[in-house]
Structure 1
Amino acid sequence: MNAIADSILPLSPVRPHRRFHVGAHALRPAAVTGFNRLLEQLQTAPLDEDQIASFSRTVSPARNATAVPPWILLHMRDAAAVRLMLGDPGWEPLDCAAGPARLVSDYLRDHDGLVPDRLPVLGRLDDSIVVEAAWPHIGAEVLDYLDYRRLRRLEASLRGCDERGFRFSRADWEEARQAEAALVRHLREVGTRSYLPAAGGPGRFRIN
């Protein structure tokens, strides 16, 4: 199991006080079963109602909280990047990441999944768990895509083009990234040596 296992309480055979609520929402067994089918597709171990409910209290321990927890906000930012990536005609995700990314995107479109999106504070808890479960499969691809967007903006600006109409493929990004890396290496090498001759040499440049 991935990082979710480190955050959510492990399964235990003895739990006299089981929890079934995320905020004011009672988790439905059928919804938990469907959610675990998705986690299985993402190669993540299943969770039961008590684990999910207990984790929700870890994410937002204050009963009177009104703000969305930072953990959820972080994962929703990542989720937005996933949806941008899948909807960008200039980017072709690697096959190993495309499937898990689509699973995430499809789940995000279901506003009444395990936890209804309209639930205050914790409405995106289940979406965030899905993003974290998928991240080992899609994280590197999403970061590459965000770098692609950065270089596309830069290349379009250098050419005086509108980014929205600028044709820039994954191959173009890879070429631009290699050129940028070569420039960085060159600048680092320049920083470790001097263009001026060493002391005792023929002397400084002269302008006649």
Structure 2
Amino acid sequence: MLMRTAAPAETPLPWEDRPSHANRDSIGGFQLDATAVARFDRLLHDIHPEARHVDADRIATLGRWLQDLPAARARAVLDERLTRIEQLRAMLDDADWDRREGACRRVRKLLAYLDQDHDLIPDEIPLLGLLDDVILLELAWPAVATEAEDYADFCDYRASTAPDGDGAQRRDAWIRDRLDALALYQHHHRVNDGHYANGGHPNRPFRVA
């Protein structure tokens, strides 16, 4: 029901930057394992088959970019995405939400990876320990965006209007109100694009005697 975002954060990770091939599989003193990187890439494409492929060079380049940021900015890059992860957890636990099985299966696979302590980059490594988590979230996001953003909108609606009834009735009220709002928007758009009178210049100026 909403405009979908291409990434879970306002500013995407800088994937388009050309990778540096120096130290292509290491970030600081941490060496990426080729087998673990391949397993990570397979999981990503199991969740979102159309995602870009990742390799050790790309992950290491992003890791060095993150380390070069001021500490507060680097933390903000991570936290902005980690907030989305908590939103996905809440969605799976919310009895009011009619969870679509396909989307929730993908979310569960995503969360199962995030809940591991020793994954591609061990969580105990300061700052970098969360990098693989946010990379997975960022690249898999298009596969879960519809469900996640509809759920976020439903939560805002539920908090602001407090609709009556059980979960199904609250969802129905949300859908009705959003469809009504969409219909009103489309009506205004048609009116604004219509022409009720000829907007050209008259042949003779209109004068008041």
* TM-score of the aligned structures, taking structure 2 as reference length: 0.68
CA shift in 2, pair 1:116/1:68, >3 Å: farther
Query: 1:18-72, CA deviations, whole angstroms, 9 ceiling, x for partnerless residues?
Result: 332234432122221211111221222432212211111123315x847643322
The answer as to 2:132 corresponding to 1:126 is yes
What is the aligned counterpart of 1:47 among 54, 68, 76?
54
For 1:133-152, list aligned pairs within 5 A: 133-152=139-158
Residue matched to 1:204: none
Report the CA distance between 1:130 and its aligned residue.
Answer: 0.9
Residue matched to 1:168: 167
Alpha-carbon distance in 2 for matches of 1:29, 1:66:
31
Query: 1:131-152, CA deviations, whole angstroms, 9 ceiling, x for partnerless residues?
Result: 1112112112211101111111
Residue matched to 2:98: 92
Residue matched to 1:112: 118
Alpha-carbon distance in 2 for matches of 1:33, 1:18:
18
Q: Alignment partner of 1:18: what SS?
A: coil
Alpha-carbon distance in 2 for matches of 1:73, 1:116:
18
Aligned-residue Cα RMSD (Å) equals: 3.3
Unaligned runs of 5+ in 2: 1-5, 193-209
Report the CA distance between 1:121 and its aligned residue.
Answer: 1.6
Query: 1:96-154, CA deviations, whole angstroms, 9 ceiling, x for partnerless residues?
Result: 42232222211111121111222112221111111111211211221110111111123
* TM-score of the aligned structures, taking structure 1 as reference length: 0.69
Are 2:123 and 2:130, in contact at CA under 8 Å, matched by a contact in 1?
yes
Q: Which has the higher contact order (CA 8 A, sep 6+)?
A: 2
The answer as to 2:44 corresponding to 1:31 is no
CA shift in 2, pair 1:182/1:25, >3 Å: same
Residue matched to 2:15: 7
In structure 2, what residue type is equivalent to 1:92? D
The answer as to 2:83 corresponding to 1:83 is no
Report the CA distance between 1:84 and its aligned residue.
Answer: 1.1
What is the aligned counterpart of 2:79 among 73, 76, 90?
73
Residue matched to 2:201: none
Are 1:20 and 1:50, in contact at CA under 8 Å, matched by a contact in 2?
yes
In structure 1, what residue type is equivalent to 2:119? G
Unaligned runs of 5+ in 1: 160-165, 193-208
Are 2:96 and 2:167, in contact at CA under 8 Å, matched by a contact in 1?
yes
Alpha-carbon distance in 2 for matches of 1:5, 1:176:
35
What is the aligned counterpart of 1:19 among 17, 20, 24?
24
Q: Alignment partner of 2:128: what SS?
A: coil
Report the CA distance between 1:185 and its aligned residue.
Answer: 8.5
Q: Alignment partner of 2:68: what SS?
A: coil
Matched length: 177
Residue matched to 1:177: 178
Are 2:66 and 2:74, in contact at CA under 8 Å, matched by a contact in 1?
no
Query: 1:138-185, CA deviations, whole angstroms, 9 ceiling, x for partnerless residues?
Result: 1122111011111112333x76xxxxxx73333332124335556889
Residue matched to 1:60: 67
